[in-house]
């Protein structure tokens, strides 16, 4: 009876070691990643979140988790992490290799792409439309946009191009009207 009790207590470690030897550590890593993915998705069960937002949250963990499963099977050290941040212009998923991604899940692919393509300047204009009083610089600073000068330079270049296109178009129209 004592031997049976010892076997029951210690067989899981022996079994795990045997699996690792037989199939390689990538199988053990796969099981760990699969358990992590399952736990991450099941954690949403008690959330009181709208289904639209919940679908997006679950999708982030699904994509990161399936990436990690594939990495484990291919013996890669690279892993994806869901950032769980609602900060302005923050990435949804970061890779241990340094990359990052932002995901959008709307009713259609077109609506998702449209939301993904919204620029910082468009967000600023929406903010102003809701009564926001901050200048563009203040708006960006409060949201932690580090490359503010780059954004401002880009906006300046865009507006300059638009200005010159209008001037050029006006001159062309003036010339056509004189004929």
| Domain ranges across the chain | 1-106, 118-179
pLDDT, the chain, mean: 75
Query: What mean pLDDT do residues 1-28 have?
Result: 58
Full-model pTM: 0.58
- pLDDT above 70 as % of the chain: 64
Residue-wise pLDDT for 125-139, tens only, equals 888 999 999 988 788
The pair phi, psi for residue 87, each rounded to 5°, is: -65, 155
Q: Tell me which of 179 and 6 has the higher pLDDT.
A: 6
Residue-wise pLDDT for 21-61, tens only, equals 555 556 667 788 888 888 888 888 887 878 777 888 888 88
- What are the start-end ranges of the E strands in the chain? 80-82, 93-95, 100-101
Q: How far is CA 64 from CA 12, 113, 151, in A?
A: 29, 20, 30
Q: Is the pLDDT of residue 79 over 90?
A: yes
- Is there a contact between 77 and 64 (Cβ–Cβ < 8 Å)? no
- Predicted pLDDT at 173: 46
Widest distance between CA atoms in the chain: 110
């Amino acid at each position: 009876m004592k031997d049976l009790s010892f076997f029951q207590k210690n067989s899981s470690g022996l079994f795990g070691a045997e699996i690792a030897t037989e199939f390689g550590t990538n199988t053990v890593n796969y099981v760990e990643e699969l358990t992590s993915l399952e736990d991450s998705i099941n954690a949403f069960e008690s959330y009181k979140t709208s289904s639209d937002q919940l679908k997006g949250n679950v999708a982030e963990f699904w994509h990161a988790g399936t990436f990690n499963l594939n990495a484990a099977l291919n013996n890669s050290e690279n892993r994806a992490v869901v950032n769980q941040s609602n900060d302005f212009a923050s990435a949804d998923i970061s890779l241990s290799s340094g990359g990052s991604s932002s995901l959008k899940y709307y009713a259609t692919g077109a609506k998702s792409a449209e939301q993904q393509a919204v620029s910082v300047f468009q967000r600023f204009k929406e903010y102003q439309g809701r009564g926001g009083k901050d200048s563009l610089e203040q708006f960006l600073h409060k949201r932690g946009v580090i490359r503010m000068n780059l954004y401002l330079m880009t906006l300046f270049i865009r507006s300059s191009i638009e200005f010159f296109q209008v001037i050029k178009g006006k001159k062309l129209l003036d010339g056509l009207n004189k004929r």
